[in-house]
Structure 1
Amino acid sequence: MKASVRTYGATKDRLGGEKWLEVDVPEKTSIRELMQILGIADDEIMAIMSDGRFIDRNEHINEGDRLQLLPFIGGG
């Protein structure tokens, strides 16, 4: 099953710098499991969006989902 994942900042850079990653995962894979597969720690990501709505890390990925993994923003 294929889905697209967009990451930002240091996470994006660590995953190769591409704007969107195309990922192939088994059915019933959760967002949390996808993050583990990609090597993204839970504390790196503040929120996850799919199709303009916020979703929980425990939701399952559907074929063709376009997921945005939004990091915490620092500064000062």
Structure 2
Amino acid sequence: MKASIRTYGTTKDRLGGAKWLEVDVPEKTSIRELMSILGIADDEIMAVMMDGRFLDRDDHLNEGDRLQLLPFIGGG
């Protein structure tokens, strides 16, 4: 099953720098499991969104989903 992941900042850089990353995962993969597969720690991501709505990390992916993984932003 394929899903597209939009990453930002250091997470994007670590995953090769592409704006969108297409991943192939087993059916019924949760967002939390996807993050683990990609090597993204739970505390790196502030929120997960799709189509303008926030998702729970225990939600399951569906074929063709387009997620945004939003990291914490720091600065001063």
Identity %: 87
The one-character-per-residue Cα deviations of 1:52-75 (angstroms, maximum 9, x if unpaired) are 110000000011000000000100
Whole-angstrom distance in 2 between the partners of 1:4 and 1:52:
15
AA partner of residue 11 (structure 1): T
| Root-mean-square deviation (Å) | 0.4
Query: What is the CA distance between 1:51 and its match in structure 2?
Result: 1.4
- Alignment partner, residue 7 of structure 1: 7
TM-score (norm 2): 0.98
Whole-angstrom distance in 1 between the partners of 2:51 and 2:39:
23
Secondary structure of 2:12's counterpart equals: helix
Query: What is the CA distance between 1:40 and its match in structure 2?
Result: 0.2
- Alignment partner, residue 72 of structure 1: 72
The one-character-per-residue Cα deviations of 1:27-70 (angstroms, maximum 9, x if unpaired) are 00000000000000000000000111100000000110000000
Secondary structure of 1:13's counterpart equals: helix
Whole-angstrom distance in 2 between the partners of 1:24 and 1:50:
18
Whole-angstrom distance in 1 between the partners of 2:51 and 2:66:
7
Number of aligned residue pairs: give it: 76
- Alignment partner, residue 21 of structure 1: 21
**Structure 2 unaligned regions, length at least 5:** none
